[in-house]
Structure 1
Amino acid sequence: MVCPTFILSFIRNSRIDSKEKDTVVLSCHVDSNPYPSEFQWFYDDVLLSSQSKYTINDVTRDDAGNYTCTVTTVFYDDTSATDQGIVHLGVQYLSTVNITILPSRINEGDDVDIHCKASGGKPGPHKIELIFKDESLATNDSQELHHKITDISPGSSGSYQCRAFTNFYDGSEEYSVTQKELVVYYAARLIPGDDREFKAEIGEVVDINCTAHGMPVPSIKWFDANDREISDEGDNFEIRNHQPIGNVITSILSITLADSTYYGSLAKTEITESGEGGVTALSDNAEKTQYADLESTMDGLYMKLQKQSEERIGSGAKDYSDNPENGVYANVENMPGKF
């Protein structure tokens, strides 16, 4: 009578290492005569299979532990012998990464703290990295890092990624990743165009563009020099507002020329903090204002766009240099309810 002797395939010792999502095959190879009549695979005393092989597809960390293969051999005299072998399955997996950005509401000029932290994982990560626009901002040979952005600008808006890198048993390196959007709120700004010259006859239609960007997306209204809003219901004006593209919006004022006058664009924004009154928020740099100067010429009206600096006043009042009494301007405001 010979009791079966176990050789656990896959590897020769009693431990198998794997990574999550791998496929693991456990096999019993038995040296006995006659060949065993029964195979049984157990995990925590739960019967898994009655075959010599047991396959685990898409292995998870919950599959780690001890697996027992029990075999029974029946001899010529109807006696039997039973033996078993144990293999430990180790499952390696990536850590979980969290990213925190403070403050939760970020205005242009604020100082911002970004914190990346990895937890869990087997083995733990050996490096953590902060990525912005496919470039590395910071790395640390540990499970967390801190990064500070001082005097933040709108160009720092976007998606920030934290990546935690892990070296596995087979020499491979993989990383887990999480990302978070950072939004910088800022006052509306005009996008100045190139200087342009137009010639037009009285009665012709001239288009003047006002393009602005801001966060939230600005809205554009046209006003005359006396702060009277221009509507597209008048005989001489038509306003076409385009759908925003990202945080950029364009408004076109079509004017049927009646006489010589001035036209311009002005950007400002009203930012209302929660629980507070309206506050006029304007950019630090002097913004450009575009004027269309229509002058009489022998062949009609001549219009030239000129750029003039305009200082902003906290109340939102306008202070023009060399500004004529008659004219129109575009008032650009951040849309309410977007903060």
Structure 2
Amino acid sequence: MAFLHSSLCLLLVHVCALSRGAWAKVDLAVDDSVEVYLGDSAQISCQYNFSAASQPSVVMIQWFVRAVGNSSRMRIFYGDDSQQMVDDNTPYSGRIAVTSDQQASLLAIQDVRLSDEREFFCQVNGLAAGNAEGKTHLRVFAPPEAPVIEGVLTGISVTNELPSKVASCEARNGFPKPNITWYRNSTPLLPAQGHVNVLTLVTRESNGFYSVQSTLEYKVLKEDKDAQFVCEVSFSVPGAVRTAESKAVNLTIYYPTTMVELWKESPQGLVKEGDTVELRCQGDGNPPPPFVFSREQDPAVDLESRGNVLMLSAVSRKDSGVYRCRPLDVEPLAEVTGDVQLTVHYLDPAVVVPKDSEVMFKGESLTATCNALSSLKTSTVWYKDGKQVGTGNTLLLQDATYETTGEYVCEVTVPSLPALHTSGFVHIIVQGAPHMHDMDREVELEEATGRLVNLSCEAHGHPLPSISWSIVGSQGWHEVVSKANEHTAHSVVSVKVTSDISALCNASNDMGTEIKAFSIKAIPMVTSTAPFSPAEGNGVIIVVIILCILLLAILGSILYFLHKKGKIPCGRSGKQEISKENTTKDDIVVEMKTNPMEEAVLLKGVNGDKKSPSDQYMDLQK
């Protein structure tokens, strides 16, 4: 009841003040708008000033808010010098506070909501001093969620006549309503008839937020296959406008093939017969079309292939030519093809002339050739017994000997393609009469009677010579070695010397005969009663003489030493006599006990005179 009474009093005062406002003046200042984030606190200031001539004794302050959806206003606060009161049962009961002084009133709103975006009125009444009213628009801001973009997953063909949907973008729960803009590679897409359409759907959620969904329809081109599409949301915040960008999406663009390339994938380098060749075809169409392969010389015949790959197994020279691939996503009459030249290199087996084998006569000359047909330049080398004997297609054999006989191999290679190589051979046989070593002279030997002598005979020739022996003067002989190789025969006989011997080695073949003679002179065996032969005796004599000289030298040294010590007096002893310091070799007498024959051998000089052992040794050395 007290509240109703107060309200009626205030209303009455307000009416009286209005009736007298023509004679009073008050200045009032408020902000046109106040901006604040959702959930923050808002402060709305109301500044007032009365003229000096009409200062009121009582000032009444009231705050109103315009109700949503109509033009009526709702009071939320009133106060004067005696009391301050927040109206009950309003959306702001418990959320606002007002502080006032003689010149200002400040309305504070806690926990700002979306519904707080309204017009707030400040009314100042100084009764007879005058009254005034000001209006402030409270604006509330809530940034939306990050934009979410979804691109069309299926491919879009450039052949579509109208713009096609390429992506959609959504920004949710923003306040006030956000806006969406589309970009292609950082360039904004503006609506254009027949090229760009943008469809926008704005939804007011039950909680008061705005959600915006935008769909981009775009007429794609082949150049868009690598383009990036982005949507950008712009929204207002206190004192500014901000933006947020979505992730980028790429489109799958379908377009027909306009260019085709065909190349040899493997093997690397040159191709030879027997290789497996892989040809690969690729076009610029999307999706990649299937291809048809053919040969230029027979374009109506399609070759069996797998996708964009043509495999040619174990190729030969017949597979050389121009190969072509054609995509199936173009018109049959369209000239969209790829070509590649395939060359299969080859090397035929070597052909050697003479073939297999050739017989030559000793002293003749022969020219052998080796050729192999090839698609590339070749190199030819001749070998015999593993050693190089010539280069080039021609081999010249001059003045043939038996050493010329053998197998000659020609190796043909392709320097630019080492995997290509072939070979051939020719076997050379040199024919001739037998030939022996030392055939121009007779071999003369001297051997003691009773000894065994080996006679060797070796003959070269083709056909292989046969060796026979004819021996006169000995019945005790036999062949101990008989061997032969391709063109050499070798025979060794053992002959017992009983008398003078004449031996003939006869080597013969179809080309002739050659004889080698041996003459052996028998020397009688010398016998002696001495325990050693004359030859052996000479060596023994030399050794004995040397030992005697050494013994005499040692004996003389001992006697001289004893004489100096006085152990032996001077004089004669037996058959030795030392009568003076210097003696000659003729004064030295050596007495040796031996038999007469040994003495004759030992002491006999060259002229029949007896000599000292030292002289005999010197004579033997001479």
Same fold (TM over 0.5): yes
Aligned to 2:400: 152
Q: Tell me the secondary structure at the aligned position of residue 122 of structure 1.
A: coil
Work out the CA distance in 2 between the residues paired with 1:101 and 1:252.
38
Matched, 1:280 2:512: yes
2:460 pairs, out of 187, 192, 213, with 213
Instruction: Mark the CA change 1:160 to 1:9 in structure 2 (over 3 Å): closer, same or farther.
Output: same
Work out the CA distance in 2 between the residues paired with 1:212 and 1:73.
86
1:184 Cα offset (Å): 0.8
Aligned to 2:597: none
Contact 1:191 1:213 in 2 (8 A): no
Deviation digits for residues 225-258 of structure 1 (CA, Å, limit 9, x no counterpart): 59xxx9xxxx834334534234222223234x36
Instruction: Mark the CA change 1:56 to 1:249 in structure 2 (over 3 Å): closer, same or farther.
Output: farther
Instruction: Mark the CA change 1:52 to 1:268 in structure 2 (over 3 Å): closer, same or farther.
Output: same
Paired letter, 2:512: T
Contact 1:205 1:254 in 2 (8 A): yes
Matched, 1:30 2:262: no
Work out the CA distance in 2 between the residues paired with 1:207 and 1:136.
39
Contact 1:28 1:53 in 2 (8 A): yes
Matched, 1:183 2:437: no
Work out the CA distance in 1 between the residues paired with 2:312 and 2:481.
60
Aligned to 1:254: 494
2:305 pairs, out of 23, 29, 49, with 49
Instruction: Mark the CA change 1:50 to 1:298 in structure 2 (over 3 Å): closer, same or farther.
Output: same
1:41 Cα offset (Å): 4.5
Aligned to 1:8: 262
Work out the CA distance in 2 between the residues paired with 1:245 and 1:270.
15
Aligned to 2:526: 298
Percent identical:
20
1:236 pairs, out of 469, 476, 480, with 476
Deviation digits for residues 103-150 of structure 1 (CA, Å, limit 9, x no counterpart): 95311122x23142635321355x6666667455565xxxx658462x
Matched, 1:100 2:353: yes
Q: Which runs of 5+ in 2 are unaligned?
A: 1-158, 160-254, 528-622
Instruction: Mark the CA change 1:62 to 1:267 in structure 2 (over 3 Å): closer, same or farther.
Output: farther
Deviation digits for residues 20-70 of structure 1 (CA, Å, limit 9, x no counterpart): 45553211223221233x455456636343243344465432332233445
Q: TM-score, normalised by structure 1?
A: 0.57
Work out the CA distance in 2 between the residues paired with 1:59 and 1:196.
74
Paired letter, 1:264: A
Deviation digits for residues 191-235 of structure 1 (CA, Å, limit 9, x no counterpart): 459x89786663x65433322222222222223459xxx9xxxx8
Paired letter, 1:86: D
Aligned to 2:579: none
Rg (Cα) greater in structure? 2
Aligned to 2:338: 85
Q: Tell me the secondary structure at the aligned position of residue 187 of structure 1.
A: strand
Q: Tell me the secondary structure at the aligned position of residue 221 of structure 1.
A: strand
Instruction: Mark the CA change 1:51 to 1:180 in structure 2 (over 3 Å): closer, same or farther.
Output: farther
Query: Across the two proteins, how many residue pairs are aligned to each other?
Result: 258
Work out the CA distance in 2 between the residues paired with 1:167 and 1:261.
69
Instruction: Mark the CA change 1:26 to 1:265 in structure 2 (over 3 Å): closer, same or farther.
Output: farther
Note the aligned Cα RMSD (angstroms).
4.4
Q: TM-score, normalised by structure 2?
A: 0.34
Contact 1:42 1:49 in 2 (8 A): no
Contact 1:66 1:88 in 2 (8 A): yes
Paired letter, 1:30: G
Greater helix content: 2
Instruction: Mark the CA change 1:51 to 1:297 in structure 2 (over 3 Å): closer, same or farther.
Output: farther
The one of the two structures with greater contact order (alpha-carbon pairs below 8 A, sep at least 6) is: 1
Deviation digits for residues 43-101 of structure 1 (CA, Å, limit 9, x no counterpart): 66363432433444654323322334454459xxxxxx996533221122336543334
Contact 2:447 2:522 in 1 (8 A): no
Paired letter, 2:404: S
Work out the CA distance in 2 between the residues paired with 1:58 and 1:263.
74
